[in-house]
Amino acid sequence: MPPIPDLVATALVFVLAGFVKGVIGLGLPTIAIGLLVLVMAPAQAAAVLILPSLATNAWQLAGPGLVPLLRRLWPMMVAIVAGTLGAGTIGAGWLAGDGRLAIGGLGAALAAYGLLGLSGARFSVPARLEPWLSPAVGAATGAITGATGVFVVPAVPYLQALGLGRDALVQALGLSFTVSTVALAASLAGQGAFRLPEAGMSLLALAPALAGMALGRRIRGRIGQRAFRLCFFLGLLALGGHLLLQARS
């Protein structure tokens, strides 16, 4: 049984992460991993993330538009799995081995995502480039997932650039996150980093994550999305910078 302070800290982290996801539709793994590595090893943090991430993203994935999305995005999904598992000797090795490399990589990923969000940059992917870009983006996302446990970069900016409708975009994000979570779980299990204690903490984190998400969805309309996203991306930038400094020390 993990120490009570660890359980309380983990629960609070997932309430916050679930709240962010409930308000803006993403951010649970980013917030959870970024904060958990302040109190536990990166591999353990990534393992604890598995069940809350899988449950919330599977819910986000469900819907009648799933089959068309699978037909369009399957090369990206296959590449995510291949990239994550292929990172087993490098990226996942960082995650399950020397934590400084994983923390540094995570800090860089969070800072890059924060800067991208703050820039307000908007991209558009021509349809003719999609067959080439989808596998490349998927492989890059998988490699970063294997190395840091965070699977938002570059998948989220790419999916936002495809010109999907609002509901289709939310569902596409759920699809990408679900595939990434399953691939990360397989990678961690192969490294011996997803064991019974981590699985137990992951199960315990499920209820706080869902509670936070329900709270975020309830007050979504009461908080200005623009102001909240600004604070969110500033927070990611600050957290990423802190982790980069921590990795160097």
Amino acid at position 110, single letter: L
Q: What is the pLDDT of residues 212-224, one digit of tens each?
A: 988 988 887 777 7
Per residue in 56-112, pLDDT tens? 888 788 888 899 999 999 999 999 999 999 876 554 455 665 567 777 887 888 888
The whole-angstrom separation of Cα 54 and Cα 184 is 11
Q: Which residue has the higher pLDDT, 99 or 210?
A: 210
Full residue range of the structural domain in which residue 224 is found:
4-248
- At residue 148, the pLDDT reads 81
Q: Residue 1 above 80 pLDDT?
A: no
Q: How many domains does the chain have?
A: 1
Cα(17)–Cα(210) distance, integer angstroms: 10
Residue type at 197 in one-letter notation: P
At residue 140 the predicted structure's pLDDT band, cuts being 50, 70 and 90, is very high
Q: Length of the chain in residues, anyone?
A: 249
> Comparing 49-58, 87-96, 117-126, which segment has the lowest mean pLDDT?
87-96
Put simply, whether the predicted model's pTM sits higher than 0.75 gets the answer yes
- For the cut 90, the answer to whether the pLDDT of residue 231 exceeds it is no
d(C-alpha 193, C-alpha 191), whole Å: 5
**What pLDDT shows up at residue 106?**
78
pLDDT of residue 224: 76
